[in-house]
């Protein structure tokens, strides 16, 4: 397959050109059918640095004004868990919900996801919609470093606060695999 006349977004420039694929991978030699993508952009797969794949099907938290901080949002969400719409969403089998999360990311342009919960068996499916980061544990979380899991939210707050005092921004940069 050849994508031609597209604007190809590269790490340091945008150029007009063609892109050939073979067996799902970029290929050097063009072959196969052609799709004209004039007036379209082609981006590399995006990286979603923080998601909970199994919760993508939960309806958005109804709220009019922005929250002052993430702790206010967490407190509001805790009471929202009792809502019938949330209960219905989380009653769907876990494997299905992980797939929904993977598809939602893929349709949004993300091909790699840092999943902010324990890995699920479905993430290893050969046809799972996205790659799930495995090497970084919880280190993708702001300030939590490689600490596996806080036993309570209060504990997480302390960890975050301590960590932010001692870490540089450089430690927050995630390297894709
Ligand atoms: Zn999270």
Residues with beta carbon < 5 A to ion ligand 1? 116
- DSSP SS3 for 43: coil
- DSSP SS3 for 134: coil
pLDDT for the residue 26: 87
Q: 43 C-alpha vs ligand 1 centroid, how far in Å?
A: 26
Q: 50 C-alpha vs ligand 1 centroid, how far in Å?
A: 6
Confidence (pTM):
0.67
Alpha carbon distance 48, 57 (integer Å) = 17
- Domain ranges within the chain, ordered by starting residue: 2-44, 47-172
Q: Return averaged pLDDT per consecutive 10 residues of the chain, 177 residues in all.
A: 92 92 84 91 91 93 88 90 94 97 96 92 95 75 48 49 39 34
Residue given tokens 């290929």 in the structure block: 27
């Amino acid at each position: 397959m050849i994508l031609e006349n597209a604007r190809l977004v590269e790490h340091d420039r945008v150029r007009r050109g063609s892109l050939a694929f073979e067996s799902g991978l970029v290929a050097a030699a063009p072959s196969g059918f052609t799709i004209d993508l004039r007036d379209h952009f082609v981006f590399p797969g995006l990286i979603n640095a923080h998601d909970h794949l199994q919760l993508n099907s939960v309806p958005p938290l109804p709220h009019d004004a922005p929250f002052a901080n993430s702790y206010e949002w967490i407190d509001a969400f805790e009471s929202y868990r009792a809502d019938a719409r949330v209960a219905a969403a989380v009653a769907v089998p876990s494997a299905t919900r992980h797939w929904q999360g993977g598809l939602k990311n893929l349709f949004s342009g993300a091909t790699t996801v840092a999943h902010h919960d324990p890995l699920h068996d479905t993430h290893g499916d050969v046809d799972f919609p996205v790659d799930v980061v495995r090497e970084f544990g919880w280190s993708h979380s702001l300030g939590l470093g490689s600490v596996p899991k806080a036993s309570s939210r209060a504990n997480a707050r302390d960890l975050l606060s301590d960590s932010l005092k001692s870490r540089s921004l450089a430690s927050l940069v995630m390297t894709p695999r």
